[in-house]
Chains A and B, each alone.
Chain A
Amino acid sequence: MKTQIPLLICLVAGLFMGLQYFIPAALPVYNRVNDYIQVVTAFSLVLGVVNLIHRHIGRMRPSGPQRRRHRDWPFSLAALVGLVVMLFAGFGTQRGPIFQSLFNSILLPVQSTMFALLAFYLASAAFRAFRVRSVDAVVLLVSAVVVMVGRLDDGGALGIPWLSRQILNGPNLVAKRAIILGVGLGMAATALKVVLGLERSYLGSGKE
């Protein structure tokens, strides 16, 4: 029963979602069902926050035979303080100046910093990728250089932008389309397996 009911729900929902793609009259029901997702998300967010609080409080609390805190407990404290402060700033001041100030002065710069790290990681990844160790690596290096130079204004005189476009619209696009075709069929096959109850790993063991 524990497995049969979720499988039945999955079958009905999956068949409906598959069929509605071909039935215009089912669109209002489809839109209504999509609205329910927001309700489920709201409840699951509460679940997520409860888990977050539970996990971090557990790490701050002394435990084990030696009654010691987890070694990362200061991070847990920082996470909980951040959660509580933003919660009060958001609800308490109706998303007023304190909330905006915290958001703009702390959260946004931190997010930007994380995003900016990408530039350095790109450089180190490129260094590793372009090390000439085989014929394939040489082809990759030459193609990458052509495409990069092709994006520069000064590359025009050498005809490199044309070559760059040929690489992007030729072999690159062909490979991308091949992957997209495979991904599409893989998605459809996975969806079919899940809807028909053949794939049950997401239910745990899938056994009664």
Chain B
Amino acid sequence: MGEIVATLTARRSFVGSLCFLAVLSLFLLPASAWAVEPALDLTVKDKPLDAGEVLKIAFSRASGDSLGRTGIVRYELLRQAPGEAVFKVARSFAASQRLGRFTYDDTGLKPGKHYQYKVRTVGADGFTAETAPCPPTAPRRQWFFTNKLNTLVATAIFCAFVLGFIHAARRGRPMFIRRIAGLDAIDEAVGRCTEMGKPTLYVPGISTISDVATIASLNILGQVAKKIAQYQTRILVPNRDPIVFPVAQDVVKEAFIEAGYPHNYRSDDVYFVTNDQFAYAAAVCGTMVREKPGANLFLGMFYAESLVLAETGASVGAIQIAGTDAISQLPFFVTACDYTIIGEELYAASAYIGREPTLLGTLKGQDLFKMVCLGVICLGVLLMTLGVIFRGKPYDDILQLITVRSGS
């Protein structure tokens, strides 16, 4: 009896050991030995409103894959371009990324050509599984940003206003422009320099030529340089941007020629200083302290150096006129300068100083369009309020029509 019990006990222990080993082996198996599943839900779509060079691709993790803990190392997005026989890796995604769904914009594609994609799941031991290729998809080129239709309409209305007033000005319609003290003071400043026998310092901002404020400043420079040439005094124009510099040089030279004093033009007075912001500020401050100009004109785009320039100018006793559309710098100029040309006045300056009827016409067109903008803003406020009171449609739909969207 005792032998039978001992045999059964031994067998039970043997079976138990087998079970234990089987369970242990399951845990000790390499992760990749688990079946590697393909990724799920692969979608390929054309990117809307673009030049037809982008396809938007998205896919989800393989079933059972939980943030790379099931032996899946990465997902490879394979692309077959037109004319190619095989799929090539377009992008690799680490499975450890904390993403439920991977997305990718495949760029640089050819418009109208068909591309196929599939996703390869790669395990730690190199086991792989692939999805079926998606249907061939072609990126399509679009010819109009439909979401910018209202901007186009507004632009057309604005151009019509401006051109209409230019036409009216050319036919001799008188244009009244309100007095702008800062621009009137330019004459006074140049006259003061002439009386004192000192040069005028003109700083055309520190931005590039692609900035409209810089172009406006160069337009004003032409008018100011002409006055200075007529008064037979000097103008100093230190430049920060290497593209603005030759333009400024040409503008001043032409102004002196037009005024009838080409021999008074000194090419060294319009010069390039440096591309560095504070080095430029230091150089201009040095010029102010050494040359002691009778007037400082700061017109264009300015950044943090605005106060350094304006305070140094005030300390040397020059009459100072500043103009910028940089809202953050306006308080500094208002504080430290005698006259400040605020925002849009900078763009009106050339027309105001030159008094050319066609240019004055653009100011009128601009003002009329501003009235339209005010009307649209009031309409927007009304629609928004009605939308809140009556909960949505149709007010929100109308509001969408007048909402400007930037970018694509």
**Which residues of chain A have a CB within 8 Å of any CB of chain B?**
18, 21-28, 37, 40-41, 44-45, 47-49, 51-52, 55, 58, 72, 75, 110-111, 114-115, 117-118, 121-122, 124-126, 128-129, 176, 179-183, 185-194, 198-199, 201-205, 207
Chain B residues with CB under 8 A of A126: 335
The answer to whether A176 and B327 touch across the interface, beta carbons within 8 angstroms, is: yes
Q: Do residues A23 and B271 form an inter-chain contact, with CB atoms below 8 A?
A: no
A204 CB to nearest B CB, Å = 2
From A40, A111, A117, A207, give the contact of B243 (CB < 8 A). Answer: A40
Which residue on A lies nearest to B347, using beta carbons? A186
Beta-carbon contact of A111 and B278 below 8 Å: yes
Enumerate chain B residues within 8 angstroms of A191, measured Cβ to Cβ.
212
* A49 cross-chain contacts in B, Cβ below 8 A: 272
- Whether the Cβ atoms of A185 and B344 lie closer than 8 Å is yes
CB of A182 within 8 A of CB of B343, answer yes
Among residues of A, the one whose C-beta sits closest to the C-beta of B257 is: A205
- A192 x B348 contact (CB < 8 A): no
- Does A44 lie within 8 Å of B243, measured CB to CB? yes
Given contacts A186-B366, A198-B166, A199-B350, contact A129 B335 (CB under 8 A): yes
* Interface members, chain B 317-348 (any A CB < 8 Å): 325, 327, 330-332, 334-336, 342-344, 346-348
Considering the complex of A and B, which 6 residue pairs feature the smallest CB-CB distances, nearest first?
A204-B254, A186-B347, A201-B222, A182-B344, A48-B242, A186-B344
Name A198's contact: one of B158, B281, B358, B370 (CB within 8 Å). B358
Q: Please give, as numbers and ranges, the residues of chain B lying within 8 Å of A27 by CB-CB distance.
A: 50-51, 408
Contact between A25 and B347 (Cβ–Cβ < 8 Å)?
A: no
Q: Within 8 Å CB of A52, what residues of B?
A: 271-274
Instruction: Give complex CA distance A187, B363 in Å.
Output: 11
Whether the pair A111, B49 counts as a contact (CB closer than 8 A) is: no
Consensus secondary structure, chain A interface = helix
Known contacts A22-B148, A201-B350, A204-B258: A180-B243 contact under CB 8 Å: no
Chain B residues with Cβ below 8 Å from A198 are 166, 358-359, 362
Selected from B215, B218, B311, B362, the residue in CB contact (under 8 A) with A121 is: B311
Are B251's CB and A201's CB within 8 A? yes
23 contacts between A and B (CB under 8 A): A22-B145, A24-B49, A24-B143, A49-B272, A51-B271, A52-B271, A55-B271, A114-B278, A118-B304, A121-B307, A128-B335, A129-B335, A181-B373, A185-B366, A185-B369, A186-B344, A191-B212, A198-B358, A198-B359, A201-B222, A202-B222, A204-B253, A204-B254
Chain A residues whose C-beta falls within 8 Å of the C-beta of B275 in the assembled complex? 45, 48
**Measured between C-beta atoms, what is the minimum distance from B177 to chain A in Å?**
13
Interface size, B (range): 35 or more
**How many A-B Cβ pairs are below 8 Å?**
196
Contact B255 A45 (CB under 8 A): no
Q: Which residues of B contact A (CB under 8 A)?
A: 49-53, 141-145, 148, 151-152, 155, 158-159, 162, 166, 210, 212-213, 215-216, 218-223, 239, 242-243, 245-247, 250-251, 253-255, 257-258, 268, 271-276, 278-279, 281-282, 286, 290, 304-305, 307-308, 310-311, 325, 327, 330-332, 334-336, 342-344, 346-348, 350, 354, 358-359, 362-363, 365-366, 369-370, 373, 408
Is B342 a contact partner of A23 (Cβ separation < 8 A)? no
Q: Assuming A125-B332, A186-B212, what are 19 further A-B pairs, CB within 8 angstroms?
A: A45-B242, A48-B242, A52-B272, A75-B286, A110-B279, A114-B308, A125-B310, A129-B331, A179-B325, A180-B343, A183-B347, A185-B158, A186-B346, A186-B366, A188-B155, A188-B158, A189-B347, A202-B215, A204-B254
Q: Do A25 and B307 touch across chains, with their CB atoms under 8 A apart?
A: no
Cβ of B343 and Cβ of A183 under 8 Å apart?
Answer: yes
CB contact under 8 A between A41 and B243, given known A121-B308, A198-B358: yes
